[in-house]
Amino acid sequence: MDKGEAAPDQAPRSRRRPRGDVRAGLIAAGVELARSGGPEAVVLREATRIVGVVPNAAYRHFADRDQLLAEVCTAAMNELADRMTADLTRIRGKRGNPDAARRRLGAIGSAYLKFARKEPGLFATAFAVPRQHSYADRDGASNRSTPLGLLRTALDELVEAGVLDPQRRDGIEYPIWSIVHGTAELTGQGPLRDAPDAELRRIESLTLTFISNSLT
């Protein structure tokens, strides 16, 4: 045996990633694919290429592409919630203060629209999988940190602050969400997408002002 030839028991071994690392890496790769190309860009083979594993490795963690997309969908929604929470923390004022409560509701809507504008791929992906998210569990602890949960908390505060009539509170989050989401769609991928930036910001401002005025 040549000196430069390794003995059989000394042959270099390939380093295998822990299963959790591969799964997390594939989800992270899927998120980046969605960020640049929306839900259609989330493909198992491309995710494995980014992570650096063979294509078949993905099937140890996901039955098919739809399962990966579902995880990416949740990750995108969580990123939206994180952006909304970050903007909420910048609003000063005690809970129950009418002005502060209004500003918090405005911050939630503004963050939602900003995310849709700056992260169109992730915004589309967050809602790409039907029934991936629970919207009905109003009192569930896990629901409070979602975009809809944050909106519900803000509306509850408006009731406490005397801004919103308690009799109007039940279910009002859905028409409010619809208005903001509709504006995001119209100005993002819809017929208003080519409007000048100043006009788009004006439309967003009008939307949030309309919602605030409609609650009193």
pLDDT of residue 141: 43
The predicted-structure confidence for 11-21, as pLDDT tens digits, reads as follows 333 345 555 58
Query: To which residue do tokens 């017929």 refer?
Result: 191
SS3 content of the chain, % helix, strand, coil (to 5): 70, 0, 30
CA-CA distance, 197 to 66, in Å (whole number)?
A: 35
pTM: 0.84
- Higher pLDDT residue, 133 or 7? 133
Tokens of 161: 């602050």
Flag whether pLDDT at 108 surpasses 60.
Answer: yes
Residue 193: both structure tokens together: 């997408």
User: How many CB atoms are located within 10 Å of the residue 17 CB?
Assistant: 14
59: confidence class by pLDDT, cuts 50, 70, 90: confident
Q: What is the pLDDT of residues 132-166, one digit of tens each?
A: 777 765 454 445 589 999 999 999 999 999 999 99
Tokens of 98: 């009418």
The amino acid sitting at 37 is G
How far apart CA 145 and CA 80 sit, in angstroms, is 10
- Per-residue pLDDT reduced to its tens digit, 8-46: 444 333 345 555 588 999 999 999 999 999 999 999 999
